């Protein structure tokens, strides 16, 4: 029996749990939710009808309305390939199902966990009052026992159901954030909403549920897991062995969700931190912009024109540190390196570098891959350690006025550095303390050492005054 599209949609949303189970299946299998297997859908559909629908007529009606042939006839499927055994739901309908799917997370909030605790606490108080006097012939006791087992099954079903939905929502939101390039584009409205939803899920669902299921909380009387354990221990000392075993099984299954929730928490926590960093960066930019805008407005005259702010203005004081960047090269390298001052504000440096990356021609040009050199690991480590020793030695290098910098460094290192060679002068030159000013003359000089010769233009150094050092 075929049904029209409107009636089919009505039945679909009445029994939307079928599609929730389908999505949960693919989340557990760590597969992308774009195509579904026909056999998996039909198996879930038949299982749902058999367990949830009692009337035979209703079973046939739902099976017919939600069959893939009827869904295809009602244009609710993007396509169905019988040869490959796959089908795809229309994107708009799938998006609606996923959005409704996210509402299942409401049952994992702190208020609902408090309701669960209240239900368990009521049963706990009753069984504690009995003081172990449990009897199969006490009608009131058996009613409480039946209520306890029903509550335990409902708690497990609810948490299992929602942990799967939580995992699915985490994957969906992660895909949205990971697909966005934050280095090239500002966050879109979709990404902002994803960040907001991640933060809400993290605070409202992840943390309370993790606290509810964590074993450390079992030592507290306010924990539902603690009460479940105490009830189980009380039953284990009586002849109600089956009930004690059932409670123990549910207790262990609940605790097994801790690892799943912990993994989701770690995944979402990195996005929460990313959102906080993005917000801090935006606030810093907005603060600097407003400050600069106020300065410009104060400079305007009646013609709405004004003078350019001087580079020595107090507003630019935090950026003066970039004037102290030192570009240097080692004789054994062909790629220039850069060393930042020790007192550099890293937040401002990273923002400055990031904002200028787009103007670097090297990133736009064709990449040149150098030939691979086979170098011994031990030799590489020794070279690194040698450069570190030179750097430490140059911290103690003092020359108030020097007419020949390279000659002075040569004399200094030849007395302090083991296995010194002339090429070490270039390494040491890069670590020269910033209080010196270097000038190159038109004269040249030659240094001879251990049958090697170095010819170079003479460089002089002069110690800066205190004002120049602090600039």
DSSP assignment of 433-455: -TTEEEEEEEEEEEEEETTEEEE
Cα 39-40-42 angle, rounded to 5 deg: 65
Query: Residue 456: its pLDDT value, please?
Result: 86
pLDDT averaged over consecutive 10-residue blocks of the chain (471 residues)?
Answer: 76 86 69 76 90 87 90 88 87 81 60 82 85 82 87 83 78 78 68 80 80 64 78 84 86 83 82 80 85 81 65 76 54 48 63 65 57 62 82 80 84 86 84 76 86 86 63 51
Residue with tokens 């309305």: 65
Residue with tokens 């103690």: 396
| Sequence-separated contacts (24+) of 19-27 with Cβ below 8 Å | 19/97, 20/97, 20/101, 20/104, 20/165, 21/48, 23/97, 23/98, 23/101, 23/168, 24/164, 24/165, 24/168, 27/164, 27/167, 27/168, 27/171
Q: What are 80-131's pLDDT values in tens digits?
A: 888 888 898 888 888 888 777 655 555 567 777 888 888 888 888 888 888 7
DSSP-derived letter for residue 300 is: -
DSSP-derived letter for residue 35 is: -
Q: What are 261-272's pLDDT values in tens digits?
A: 888 888 888 888
Instruction: Quote the CA–CA distance of 346 and 339 in Å, as a whole number.
Output: 13
Cα 155-160-163 angle, rounded to 5 deg: 120
Query: Residue 185: its pLDDT value, please?
Result: 63
The pTM score is 0.44
Q: What are 332-388's pLDDT values in tens digits?
A: 444 444 555 555 566 666 666 766 666 655 555 565 565 555 556 677 777 788 888
Instruction: Quote the CA–CA distance of 27 and 17 in Å, as a whole number.
Output: 15
Query: Residue 298: its pLDDT value, please?
Result: 78
DSSP assignment of 328-389: E--TT-SS-EEE--TT--HHHHHHHHHHHGGG-HHHHSPP--PPP----HHHHHHHHHHHHH
């Amino acid at each position: 029996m075929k049904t029209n599209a409107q009636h089919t949609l009505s039945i679909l949303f009445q029994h939307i749990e079928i599609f929730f189970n389908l999505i949960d299946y693919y989340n557990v299998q760590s597969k992308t939710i774009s195509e579904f297997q026909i056999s998996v859908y039909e198996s879930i559909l038949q299982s749902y009808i058999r367990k949830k629908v009692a009337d035979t007529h209703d079973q046939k009606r739902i099976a017919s309305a939600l069959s893939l042939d009827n869904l295809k006839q009602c244009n609710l499927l993007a396509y169905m390939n019988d040869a490959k055994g796959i089908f795809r739901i229309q994107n708009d309908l799938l998006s609606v199902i996923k959005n409704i799917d996210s509402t299942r997370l409401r049952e994992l909030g702190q208020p609902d966990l408090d309701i669960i605790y209240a239900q368990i606490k009521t049963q706990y108080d009753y069984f504690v009052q009995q003081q172990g006097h449990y009897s199969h012939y006490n009608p009131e006791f058996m009613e409480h026992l039946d209520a306890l087992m029903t509550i335990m099954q409902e708690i497990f079903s609810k948490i299992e159901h929602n942990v799967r939905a939580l995992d699915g929502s985490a994957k969906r939101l992660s895909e949205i954030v990971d697909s966005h390039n934050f280095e090239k584009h500002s966050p879109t409205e979709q990404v902002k909403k994803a960040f907001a939803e991640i933060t809400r899920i993290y605070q409202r669902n992840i943390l309370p549920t993790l606290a509810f299921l964590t074993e450390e909380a079992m030592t507290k009387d306010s924990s539902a897991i603690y009460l479940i354990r105490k009830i189980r221990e009380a039953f284990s000392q009586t002849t109600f062995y089956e009930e004690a075993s059932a409670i123990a099984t549910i207790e262990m299954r609940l605790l097994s969700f801790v690892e799943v929730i912990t993994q989701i928490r770690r995944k979402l926590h990195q996005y929460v931190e990313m959102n906080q960093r993005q917000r801090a960066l935006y606030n810093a930019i907005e603060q600097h912009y407003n400050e600069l805008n106020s300065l410009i407005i104060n400079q305007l005259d009646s013609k709405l024109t004004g003078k350019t702010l001087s580079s020595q203005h107090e507003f630019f004081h935090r950026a003066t540190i970039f004037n102290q960047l030192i570009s240097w090269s080692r004789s054994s390298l062909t790629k220039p390196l850069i060393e930042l001052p020790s007192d550099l504000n890293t937040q401002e440096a990273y923002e400055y570098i990031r904002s200028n990356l787009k103007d670097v021609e090297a990133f736009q040009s064709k990449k040149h891959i150098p030939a691979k050199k086979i170098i011994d690991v031990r030799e590489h480590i020794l070279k690194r350690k040698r450069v570190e020793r030179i750097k430490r030695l140059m911290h103690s290098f003092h020359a108030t006025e020097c007419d020949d910098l390279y000659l002075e460094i040569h004399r200094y290192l030849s007395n302090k550095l083991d296995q010194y060679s002339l090429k070490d002068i270039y390494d040491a030159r890069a670590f020269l303390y910033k209080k010196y000013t270097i000038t190159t003359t038109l004269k040249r000089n030659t240094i001879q050492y251990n049958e090697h010769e170095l010819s170079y233009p003479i460089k002089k150094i002069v110690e800066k005054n205190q004002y120049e050092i602090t600039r």
